[in-house]
Structure formats: structure tokens, C-alpha cells
Amino acid sequence: MDLITPVKASLARPLIDSLKHEAIVHDNKIQNLIPIKLKNFEESIKNAMKEEKRKSKIIKTQKTSEIINIKILIFSLISLAIIGTTYYFLDNDKIDIFSPLWITLAILWYFGILFAIFFVKNGARLGPMLAGIIGWITFTFWIFNNMYLLSDNMINLSYHNIVIIIRNFIGSIVAGLSIAASHNLFHKIRMLGK
């Protein structure tokens, strides 16, 4: 519930569990223990509307930040997919990237990006979580793939050139951006009570 819907599990689970119980109060003994003045329906609505106006100013600022994080995250995920695709035309003279292992990993990676975008657009916490995992995996891969600058050994290729170096560094920056946006969005969705 918490990961695939925009409702927090801590809120939804008790509500769903309580549906099996009747919710009509027949006993007013609590008023003897807690002497508070009860409000009628109209007073309750007026108080709730005042509170809603006060909170909407705070939430409006948070929502703007959330929308920015959503846009950054979707942009960075699409950019990761585009940059990842360059492996198949920049590095196409090496047979390593067309092995069954690399093709399978690429397919899983692209599906992960698609699922992350889908869940981010639908406001579920699974989207930012999945985007963060993909971002960390991609960031680590591209950083380690550039380690040949120090050790002359690449993960999936046996040679290097300046275009591949630039591609890996740009990809690492975009992956870092997706990590930051997914982290911010994951926690904003929880704090806003979605």
C-alpha cells in the first residue's frame, strides 16, 4: 500500500482494518472523563476551513518543491536512458555489449526506468525509491567504468577514447542528479502525507 499508492500505509492500514467495525457512538461516558465543549457540524467545518487555509500556504511551498523534484527526476531518468543508449552506437565495434548478459541487464535497466517514471507520475513512493536504486547502480557503473583512467581496465570494454570518457562523466552527473531528486521526492511524499 505504502509503495504503490499515494497513501501512507500507517494511515491506510488502520482505516482498512476498521471497516469491519460499526462506527456509531451510543455511549457518551467519555464526556464525563474529558469535559470539552463539543462543536456542531457547522462550527467544525468553519474551524477546519480556517486550518486548511493556514496549512495551504505551507503546503503550497512544499508542493512547488515537490513538482520541481518530479520534473528533475523524470528528466534525469529519460536522460539516463538516452545516455545509456549511446553504448550501442558509440561502442558498437566491441562484441561485449551485445553478449546475452549485457543485453539482459540493459533490458532490466530500461524497464526499471520505465516503471520508475510511471510510479513517479502517479505519486507512489515506489517511483522515487526505484529511481534512486537505478541512479545508484548507474552512477556506480559509470564511475567504475571510468576507473581505467587510473588502472587501464574497463568493466565492459577493453579500450577507451575521449568520447566514452565524456559520456561516462556526463552520465555520472545525471545519475547523481536522479539520486538527489529521488531522495528529496521520496521523503517529501512521506512528509506531505500522500
* Count of beta carbons in the 10 Å neighbourhood of residue 33: 6
Per-residue pLDDT, 194: 42
H or E element, residue 98: none
Give the predicted TM-score (pTM) of the model. 0.62
pLDDT by residue, tens only, the chain of 194 residues: 666 666 777 777 787 787 787 767 777 777 778 777 777 878 888 888 888 777 776 666 656 678 888 899 999 999 999 988 887 776 655 556 677 887 888 899 999 999 999 998 888 888 899 999 999 998 988 887 777 665 655 555 555 577 777 888 888 899 999 999 998 888 765 544 44
Q: Note the pLDDT of residue 74.
A: 93
Q: What is the pLDDT of residue 65?
A: 76
pLDDT at res. 75: 94
Between CA 167 and CA 172, with CA 169 as vertex, the angle to 5 degrees is 110
- 173 to 3, 53, 177: CA distances (angstroms): 27, 40, 6
pLDDT of residue 191: 47
| Alpha carbon distance, N-terminus to C-terminus of the chain | 11
